[in-house]
Amino acid sequence: MNSTRLALIAVVPAALLALLTACASPVAVPAGTTAAPSVTRTTDSTASHNESDTTFAQMMVTHHEGAIEMAALAETKGSSSEVRNLAGRIRAAQGPEIEQMRGWLKDWGEPAPEDSDMGGMGHEGMDMGGLDQQAAMDELTKQNGEAFDKAFLTLMIQHHQGALTMANQEVATGANTEAVALAESIIAAQQKEIAEMQALS
């Protein structure tokens, strides 16, 4: 057997082995890219968040729901177009954020607010000048005209300040990058809305 045939016999199995190995290996990720973060969070949820992230999502869902309840009332009872417009923007912004945070809690295997230790508290703890959520709604329901606008703006400013406290805590202690990013977005948006409400008051 000549040297050329011996070389071919040696090369063919090596090439076949390389081909089989390539077929059995996972598809390579192009250079400069990484797997989607959501895959990591889904498969290893305990490593993707900490207790601060869970508390932030649970409490902010409840807090946002309170803001939406107040804003919905202002959309119908507000005497000025500025107040009604602001209320509509608050509802439009916070509704999707609620769904986003509820989705995180589900992905993390954490209870929704109503299924956690917070479940029986309603909106208590969301203090607005000494009023909890129900007392604030009762106060707003009694008001009409410009008195309603003034009460709404006063209470919503205090409500937003509570959200800022929670969001700043998440920025300082949260581990989940998406949750921290949402907290930073809430801080920026609600600081701007506070300034707007203060100008309208």
pLDDT digits (tens), the chain, 201 positions: 444 443 433 443 444 333 333 333 333 333 433 333 333 333 344 458 999 999 999 999 999 999 999 999 999 999 999 999 999 999 999 999 999 999 999 999 999 999 876 544 444 446 787 788 999 999 999 999 999 999 999 999 999 999 999 999 999 999 999 999 999 999 999 999 999 999 999
Instruction: Give domain status of residue 15, yes or no.
Output: no
19 in a domain, yes or no? no
3-state class (DSSP) for residue 147: helix
Distance CA 197, CA 189 (A): 12
Residue 193 CB partners (closer than 8 Å, separation 6+): 86, 89, 90, 160
Residue 154 lies in a domain: yes
Is position 65 within any domain? yes
Tokens of 17: 């082995």
Give me the pLDDT at residue 131, please. 86
Q: What is the pLDDT of residue 120?
A: 43
Phi (first) and psi of residue 131, to 5 degrees: -105, 135
Answer yes or no: are the C-beta atoms of 74 and 83 closer than 8 Å: yes
Tell me the residue length of the chain: 201
What is the b/e burial string over 2-41, where b = at least 16 CB atoms within 10 angstroms of the residue's CB? eeeeeeeeeeeeeeeeeeeeeeeeeeeeeeeeeeeeeeeb
The CATH code of the domain that includes 58 is: 1.20.1260.10
Please state the pTM of the whole predicted model.
Answer: 0.73
Token representation of residue 45 = 């949820």
| Contacts (Cβ under 8 Å, ≥6 apart) of 109 | 45
Supply the DSSP symbol for 122: T
Question: Would residue 24 count as lying in a domain?
Answer: no
- pLDDT given for residue 5 in this prediction: 42
In a domain, 86, yes or no: yes
Q: Residue 106 is part of which domain span?
A: 49-200
Predicted confidence at residue 45, as pLDDT, reads 42
Structure confidence at residue 118 (pLDDT): 58
The C-alpha R_g of the chain, in whole angstroms, comes to: 27
Question: Does some domain include residue 3?
Answer: no
In a domain, 187, yes or no: yes
Number of domains in the chain: 1
